[in-house]
Structure 1
Amino acid sequence: MRTQAVGVALALAVTSLTSPAQAHPPTSTARVWVTTPDRAELLHERAPVSFRRGASDLTTITVDPRTSYQSIDGFGASITDSSANVLYRLSPAEREKTMRALFDPKQGIGVSFLRQPVGSSDFTAETEHYTYDDVPPGRTDFGLTHFSIAHDEQQILPLLRRAKQLNPALKVMATPWSPPAWMKTGDSLVGGRLKDDPAVYDAYARYLVKFVQAYTRAGVPVDFLSIQNEPQNRTPSAYPGTDLPVRQAAAVIERLGPLLRKASPRTKILGYDHNWTTHPGDIASTPPGEDPETDYPYKLLQSPAARWIAGTAYHCYSGDPSKQTDLHKAFPSKGIWFTECSGSHGPDDTPPQIFRGTLTWHARTLMIGTTRNWAKSVVNWNIALDSTGGPHLGGCDTCTGLVALHPDGTVSKDAEYFTIGHLSKFVKPGAVRIGSTSYGTTGWNGHLMSVAFRNPDGSTALLVHNENDDPRSFAVAVGDRSFEYDLPGGAIATFTWDRNGSAPRPVPLDGATATASVNAAEAGLAIDADGSTVWQSKQAQAPGQWLQVDLGSARHFRQVALDSGGHLGDYAAGWQVATSNDGVHWSDAVTGRSTGQLTTVDLHPTRARYLRVTSTATSNHWWSLADLRLYH
């Protein structure tokens, strides 16, 4: 058998893997925009970088355009009542300038998703909280005769209409913080539950439909609707909130679904709209004898109401984004949207600390963490606040927005403007997330994180975040082309390029298992398609150490990628690769030496069940495999 070992390349160009009749020749350069935590660069476009044939010895982010995940609806924030108030304090010219900076895809960042409160939230500039059907205490309005969105026509709707003019692709989600008080126990917008009455459930469903219809008539169609913000937040701090158990949520949705399908077929219902995990405070506030429903989104999607629910909306204030993947695995036909997270700060934090901390946390947790865990949107909270974090009526007094109005009348762009901008300016609605290796974690491990998207026009956008405070050098590979780049500590970069030729087709490793001669318990970390989890020998390299993969059944492949990720120097100094169909009788081994973090072994077309990689040399470094991949 003829064999050939090739170090550090993703894959050799093979005629059978080249897309037929390439009408679009591969691009030769990638454009790049960078934001640094010290504000030295803020969505600054640097000189383009050139692709070249061949490979690099550096840690290599491999972009895999043949593997696709979720489609994207958009990225943005909320024009709350407070945000509208702040924007209307500006002169008409300054307001237009700020709106363009936010929504214009060319002159600004092209915000493409807004989550709008249905009535009052904690971020209102009013002196009292409100809904669209408020009546005096002790009275009801089951006919919804007092319903009106006149409040929003003053500032909010004009801003929404202008935003849609600036970015016609903009999508709008609507979320209530509370039903009208007359529908609730306690007759208050703050706390309480819906009255346990079918007539109330019906009235609330009709109330939400009337809102959608009114907004549509006002020129702002509603694309998504959830029925309650944070339904387990039973003790909101002087702002609207409602305890909505699963059974009540399901009862409302069962009534809302048919009405909404008739009145506004475009509007999708999203469930839950709360944190990745139930907050300990929400568990503690559960009424005696009741289930805290820590599995709320699962129960809701298991209920009969699930037929009306497009998917689940999540917030960032408890848990981590991996919970989105857990839910996706349980309900793969349902979508996941990330719909709220606010930047915040401590009382003694300085502006540079606030900017750095918010930028880096949002970069790894929201920009990349949520999208790598199936989110179809990334939405911050307020799009604009003043420099004191207001106005607000109850609730958060340390929140930050995408932009801030200062006492001297100037408007600054906060960290969230740039984290959202690195997405919304380059990843268009309808884009699809594609494969890319990522070595960092949302919990911070100091490595490089990435996420990649293919836009509707066929172009690619790759986001890279350097978690470490020190600069990092790395490579980006697509097929047999790559480029090298240096990124400052804590920085974010977005790379974009047009169609880039062909790439090999990956072999799915679902159901595969792995073992090893050393540290066998963690061998599976090498084949979990997660570059942030790493199998390591945990001892110096020595001849005879091996890692073996059982694919479960015989599969076709012709290339093996041995990716040591960000663990510099931990590549196999010497290696051999052999295959088998029974785990006993092995093919002649392909042998070679590595010189860098990614080594690709080129084989003749092979059909085998087992693959074994054996160390053949000595090194003081451990042997690390962040990712072992097979290609057709």
Structure 2
Amino acid sequence: MCVVLALACVAATGWSQSVKWIVSRDNDFWRETKTSLSRHSEMTPVLTIQAGDGKGDKESRGETPGHVFKHWGTTFNELDWEAFIALDRDVQDKIMDDLFSPDGDLRFTRGRVSMNCNDYGSSWYSCDEVPGDLELRYFNIERDKRGIIPLIRAAQKFNPELTFWISPWSPPSWMKINHDYPVVSSRHNNADPRIDYLLFGAVDGIDEDEMKFLGERNSQFPRKLASQDYFIQDPRYLQAYANYFCKFIEAYAEQGVPVDMVIYQNEAYSYTPYPGCAWTAEGTVRFNRDYLAPTLEKRHPDVKLYLGTFNTNRLDHVEKVLSDSLLRESIEGVAFQWEGREILPEIRKRYPDFSYICSESECGNGDMDWKAGEHTFFLIADNLGNGCDEWYNWNFLLPKQGMSRWGWKQNALIELDPETRTCRYTPEYYAVKHFSNLIRQGARIEGYYYDKADRVPVLAVRNPDGMLLVVTSNPGDNERKLSLEIGSRYLNATLSPHSFNTFCIGANEALSL
């Protein structure tokens, strides 16, 4: 594979400055070459980055600093565990080293755990399926001990400092008005279709395939909002559920898994045939403000409460939730995924004091191909560029086509061939690597550019040591020229078609501009 460079002519003095350039294309990943900074630009720069180390105050740097990035993370799911145990021990160790070691490929530092079963569990379960057990006498994490916690321990072997946060897909089935784990009936569950009307007050408009996430849907999501909460709004149940979160935190702590953040619900706007729970704005405020927040404050004051995960682009609805001042005092951040990304910039503008995270990467459709990698690359750049200080991958290891127990396919960073028991690192793995391998905890986002017309995202990030990183891709069929103004110099390059690119300007070079 030939990478075409278009460098500005070096001045007569021979001045140039070396820049590491890492390029990936389909089936030709992580090629390192070099380019150089120039005195002149070949085109109008898409970004202007000030010189400096990113540590000075606004006045001395001559700019407004961006937000500080904190963590890269992934999710621990049962189907990942099933794929993992099909591998030989040396392959298992290689994967965990690549994903979690501080000097590995992806360098994940945090994990997401589902409280109760999620859509990539092997079958439905919760930690207490005893109807009416409001005292939670039968609460246990025995199922987690057979899959989730062993998978976590395999990761902790390579990074003992991993920390974790939790969110449920569905409460115990007996805590819901339909007394079942899904929201709607489907050929993939045993839910009673006669009570599907509970969702909207009518059965019209319910589509079990609406939850098959196949990329940009380019429309309002969800098309309709739930007309009532699926969680029983009895104070006894609401308090029992708040206690349930605390018992889960305590049970995981006993297993050596530190949980330091809680989110009350995964995707309250996905009306699912798999584990899920629909909440109204009023129910969301009530549970978080009046039950979960004060219970955590009393029993686990060191655990942060974030709001989300918002997978809706209905700005008015999210604003209705966040407009409650008492609730805002109880939370430290907000989590967005899927369509929620579309309203992230506006919400962050209105509420600048919160932390914002991308709580889940989009899951694809089982192809695990270059196109999926390009989509994930754009999403990472867009989430970080628009204010997220943490980013989380969904599945990291699945068999070919990644079939769930509820009837559709999803992607993973690593694909298992069950017949040969071998693994393939997918383009999405390298899309993540182009960011997470080099962007360190404490890095400052210096600039972000994206033009929908050419679809080229450009993210500029400065690490705590002063190293400047420019991460960009070219998803088009033709070469794309790029120029950035960096201090008094310019980074000029031509990006190969369908390529991921990371430019590294070392700390000394960045400081000398």
Bucket of the pairwise TM-score, normalised by the shorter protein: 0.7 to 0.9
Amino acid across the alignment from 1:264? H
Q: Secondary structure at the match of 2:401?
A: coil
Deviations 1:112-141 (A, max 9, x none): 333221110111123xx0111111xxx311
One of 476, 497, 508 as aligned partner of 1:468: 476
User: Does the 8 A contact of 1:86 with 1:385 survive in 2?
Assistant: yes
Point out the structure with the larger strand share: 1
Deviations 1:393-436 (A, max 9, x none): 216x1211111110211111122212222221111222221125
Q: 1:154 to 1:447 in 2, by over 3 A?
A: closer
One of 325, 328, 335 as aligned partner of 1:313: 335
Larger Rg: 1
- 2:18 equivalent to 1:39: no
1:116-265 → structure 2 map (5 Å cutoff): 116-126=113-123, 129-135=124-130, 139-167=131-159, 170-191=162-183, 193-234=230-271, 236-237=272-273, 239-254=274-289, 255-265=291-301
Which residue of 2 is the match for residue 301 of structure 1?
A: 322
The Cα of 1:167 is off from its aligned counterpart by 3.4
Q: Give the distance between the partners of 1:243 and 1:412, measured in 2 at CA.
A: 37
The Cα of 1:456 is off from its aligned counterpart by 2.7
Q: Secondary structure at the match of 1:259?
A: helix
One of 84, 94, 98 as aligned partner of 1:97: 94
Which residue of 1 is the match for residue 194 of structure 2?
A: none
The Cα of 1:32 is off from its aligned counterpart by 2.5
TM-score of the superposed pair, with normalisation by structure 1: 0.65
Q: Secondary structure at the match of 1:203?
A: helix
The Cα of 1:463 is off from its aligned counterpart by 0.6
One of 8, 30, 33 as aligned partner of 2:19: 30
Q: Give the distance between the partners of 2:181 and 2:342, measured in 1 at CA.
A: 33
Unaligned runs of 5+ in 2: 1-7, 10-15, 55-62, 184-228
Unaligned runs of 5+ in 1: 1-7, 10-26, 279-293, 505-632
Q: Secondary structure at the match of 1:166?
A: coil
Which residue of 1 is the match for residue 496 of structure 2?
A: 488
Deviations 1:242-295 (A, max 9, x none): 1111222222212222332343344222212132415xxxxxxxxxxxxxxx63
Amino acid across the alignment from 1:388? Q
Q: Secondary structure at the match of 2:285?
A: helix
The Cα of 1:501 is off from its aligned counterpart by 4.8
Which residue of 2 is the match for residue 49 of structure 1?
A: 35
Deviations 1:83-117 (A, max 9, x none): 11111121222111111122224232212333221
User: Does the 8 A contact of 1:30 with 1:496 survive in 2?
Assistant: yes
Deviations 1:229-252 (A, max 9, x none): 111223x12x11111112222222
The Cα of 1:502 is off from its aligned counterpart by 5.5
- 2:412 equivalent to 1:393: no
Q: 1:265 to 1:489 in 2, by over 3 A?
A: farther
Amino acid across the alignment from 2:415? A
The Cα of 1:214 is off from its aligned counterpart by 1.8
380-389 or 265-274: which moved more? 265-274
The Cα of 1:355 is off from its aligned counterpart by 1.6
TM-score of the superposed pair, with normalisation by structure 2: 0.79
Q: 1:102 to 1:337 in 2, by over 3 A?
A: same
Q: Give the distance between the partners of 1:117 and 1:104, measured in 2 at CA.
A: 23
Q: Give the distance between the partners of 1:432 and 1:62, measured in 2 at CA.
A: 15
The Cα of 1:168 is off from its aligned counterpart by 5.0
Q: Secondary structure at the match of 2:137?
A: coil
CA RMSD of aligned residues (A): 2.5
1:374-393 → structure 2 map (5 Å cutoff): 374-390=387-403, 392-393=404-405
User: Does the 8 A contact of 1:75 with 1:113 survive in 2?
Assistant: yes
Q: Give the distance between the partners of 1:217 and 1:464, measured in 2 at CA.
A: 43
- 2:465 equivalent to 1:457: yes
Which residue of 1 is the match for residue 13 of structure 2?
A: none
Residue identity (%): 26
Q: 1:168 to 1:492 in 2, by over 3 A?
A: farther
Q: 1:150 to 1:345 in 2, by over 3 A?
A: closer
Which residue of 1 is the match for residue 349 of structure 2?
A: 329
Q: Give the distance between the partners of 1:400 and 1:302, measured in 2 at CA.
A: 36
